Amino acid sequence: MHRIGFFVCSGHDALDLGGPLSAFNQVAAAAGHTPYDLQVISQSGGPVRGNTGLAIETRPVGRRRFDTVVFVGGDIEPMQLPENIAAAKKLGAKASRVASVCTGAFLLAETGLLDGLKATTHWRYSALLQSRFPRTRVEGDSIYIVDGHVWTSAGIASGIDLALGLIERDMGADVARAVSRLLVVPYRRPGGQSQFSAMSQMEPESDRIRIALNFAREHLAEALPVERLADAANLSPRQFGRAFRRETGETPAKAVERLRVEAARLRLQDGSEPIEQIALAVGFTDPERMRRAFIKLHGHPPQAIRRESRMNSTR
């Protein structure tokens, strides 16, 4: 049986713990047997109060050994206490796999296990994590990152994404997919995917601009000139162009390009579909146009996304 320890400190976040803990707990129902032994642990054991005021009962670290240790996020300051760092180092040294949810990356970094590796955390704290631990390569826009035997995830709900990724690695895609259905969450947002969708980054104020963006997302494979988007928003092209830029900070053409890159990125990470086919499916007229868009928005070509996804899937 695979033993998983969820290490919490005072001020832990209930969702950072409950999300991944629930995901692993549902594996028994999805797989028909119980492959995981789940324990919530802390430095000294006993009740540990979270940042909502609720306390959870924990077992002391002691001499316990786990196959996977998950460092749960929450308030950062208690994680910096010497006794918590010492316990984390002991756990990390014995485990074959370690992970963190949200700000739990700060405690994981204290163990030295993130030195020289890529990692992520909640976007709000990514700059702080990078400044405190310069030997870690922080990618603050990713949902979760796998680097060797170390897994790190962004904030709150992404802990479920990380857990599903771990379950898929251990039990296969069918079990992970079944767990996602039991949890009523999407399957799956791949590691490396942005914490923000292109839609949420633009955040238009008016319903008309949102309608136009939804229309664009649903018709990416088709030509989407400004006149067609304006018609969807029930505005003249001139009115639409002004309103769109005012509310999103981008031109309609740039927004459509961003949506197409996002759609292409998901397809690149999720399968083996030829890049040329993906380019046409999301509305790029040819692969070269898609390549230029990827480099402009992400700094690397589509092939790099696919390579990284394949490397992560084989680790």
DSSP state letters, 175-213? HHHHHHHHHT--S---TT-BSS-HHHHH--SSHHHHHHH
What is the three-class DSSP state of 74? strand
pLDDT of 56 reads 96
Q: What is the DSSP letter of 11?
A: T
- The pTM of this model reads 0.67
Taking alpha carbons only, the member of 152, 122, 141 closest to residue 194 is 141
Within 13 Å and on the Cβ side, how many CA atoms surround 237? 6
What residue ranges do the domains of the chain occupy? Answer: 2-183, 198-314
Residue 124 and residue 110 in contact, taking contact as beta carbons nearer than 8 Å:
no
Taking alpha carbons only, the member of 259, 262, 261, 273 closest to residue 306 is 273
Neighbours of 1 (CB within 10 A): 9
pLDDT of 265 reads 84
Q: What residues contact 35, with CB distance under 8 A and at least 6 apart?
A: 1, 2, 27, 28, 170, 171
pLDDT of 267 reads 84
Averaged pLDDT of the chain:
89
C-alpha 294, offset from chain centre: 20
What is the three-class DSSP state of 214? helix
The fold for domain 198-314 equals Arc Repressor Mutant, subunit A (1.10.10)
For residue 310, whether the previous peptide bond is cis, meaning omega lies within 30 degrees of 0, is: no
Residue 297 and residue 308 in contact, taking contact as beta carbons nearer than 8 Å:
no
State the burial class of residue 240 (Cβ atoms within 10 Å of its Cβ: 0-12, 13-18, 19+).
buried
Taking alpha carbons only, the member of 130, 115, 123 closest to residue 144 is 123
pLDDT of 168 reads 92
Sign of CA dihedral 152, 158, 160, 162: negative
pLDDT of 315 reads 47
Q: What residues contact 278, with CB distance under 8 A and at least 6 apart?
A: 264, 267, 268, 290, 302
Calpha distance 125→130 (Å, rounded):
9
**Over its length of 315 residues, how does the chain's per-residue pLDDT go in tens digits?**
999 999 999 999 999 999 999 999 999 999 999 999 999 999 999 999 999 999 999 999 999 999 999 999 999 999 999 999 999 999 999 999 999 999 999 999 999 999 999 999 998 898 899 999 999 998 877 788 999 999 999 877 889 999 999 999 999 989 998 999 999 887 655 444 555 555 555 667 788 998 999 899 889 999 999 999 999 999 999 999 999 988 888 899 999 998 999 888 888 876 678 999 999 999 998 999 999 998 887 777 888 878 776 665 554
CATH superfamily of 2-183: Class I glutamine amidotransferase (GATase) domain (3.40.50.880)
